[in-house]
Amino acid sequence: MGKPSPLREKTSRPPSRAEAWTHLDPQGKARMVDVTLKKITRREAWATGSIRLRAETLEGIQKNEIKKGDVLNVARVAAILAAKKTSELIPLCHPLKITEVEISFSLEKDPPRIRLLSRVQAADRTGVEMEALTAVAAAALTIYDMCKAIDREMLITDIGLLKKTGGKSGTYLRTGSIPPEKVGEHLGERP
């Protein structure tokens, strides 16, 4: 284990804005937080989002009649790749040792939309919230890309964190969200 950064030494004076904000150095420049001394723990995060589309587009996806191919399988692969590449896309994210990525799709007719749900797991020093969110975003963007020739009015909405576990801060569950046991059921996870 390395030494704590001298930039984060405790003082008796109140912290400056740069010191209080974890991703800024004392000069106010962006930096990656040092997580060297944090414990490695099992971490999971669930994220959700939706893409609204025309009824005909939804039906084409359901019947696998979209000319570019199997929309949901391609979106699933995009989600997995995006979760693994999150630290390359989001500047201050740490590269993590992801151990599992799952994404599921719920096709709903009224109103026509696809709800996306991702779950990402890692054993690491920091959480996987950004990876779960990135997985949902990439899957939704892939659906848009594969269907844009027939439906340019698709709308990606409501991307957000549902739940996270692990680490010093413990469990977070978004108020009014899917109960944790239902999140697991939706992904085929056993309680």
Residue pLDDT, tens place only, 78-128: 999 999 999 999 988 889 999 999 999 999 999 999 999 999 999 989 889
Distances (CA, A) of 41 to 96, 109, 158: 12, 40, 29
Q: Is residue 26 part of a domain?
A: no
The amino acid sitting at 25 is D
Q: Is residue 79 part of a domain?
A: yes
Q: Which of 2-11, 33-42, 67-76 has the highest mean pLDDT?
A: 67-76
Q: What is the CA radius of gyration of the chain?
A: 19
Q: Is residue 9 part of a domain?
A: no
Q: Is residue 27 part of a domain?
A: no
| pLDDT at 27 (0 to 100) | 73
Q: Is residue 6 part of a domain?
A: no
Both structure tokens of 145: 């890309």
Q: Is residue 106 part of a domain?
A: yes
First vs last Cα of the chain: how many Å apart?
Answer: 35
| pLDDT at 184 (0 to 100) | 54
Q: What is the DSSP letter of 41?
A: E
| pLDDT at 46 (0 to 100) | 95
Domain encompassing residue 145: 40-186
Q: Are 132 and 118 in contact (CB under 8 A)?
A: yes
183: nearest Cα among 103, 114, 127, 107: 103
d(CA 65, CA 121): 33
145 is catalytic: yes
Average pLDDT over residues 29-46: 81
Confidence of residue 1 (pLDDT cuts 50, 70, 90): very low
d(CA 174, CA 171): 10
Q: Is residue 35 part of a domain?
A: no
Confidence of residue 11 (pLDDT cuts 50, 70, 90): very low
Q: Which long-range contacts (CB under 8 A, 24 or more apart) does 33-36 make?
A: 33/92, 33/94, 33/126, 34/2, 34/4, 34/5, 34/8, 35/94, 35/125, 35/126, 36/1, 36/2, 36/125
- Asked if pLDDT for residue 70 goes beyond 90, the answer is yes
Q: Is residue 137 part of a domain?
A: yes
Share of the chain above pLDDT 90, in %: 61
Which has the higher per-residue pLDDT, 33 or 114?
A: 114
| pLDDT at 12 (0 to 100) | 52
- Asked if pLDDT for residue 168 goes beyond 90, the answer is no
Q: Are 39 and 170 in contact (CB under 8 A)?
A: no
* CATH number for position 169: 3.30.70.640
* Mean of pLDDT over the chain: 85
Q: Are 52 and 157 in contact (CB under 8 A)?
A: yes
pTM tops 0.85, yes or no: no
Both structure tokens of 164: 């996270």
The catalytic residue among 25, 34, 145, 158 is 145
Tally of structural domains, the chain: 1
Confidence of residue 149 (pLDDT cuts 50, 70, 90): very high
159: nearest Cα among 143, 171, 170: 143
Confidence of residue 28 (pLDDT cuts 50, 70, 90): confident
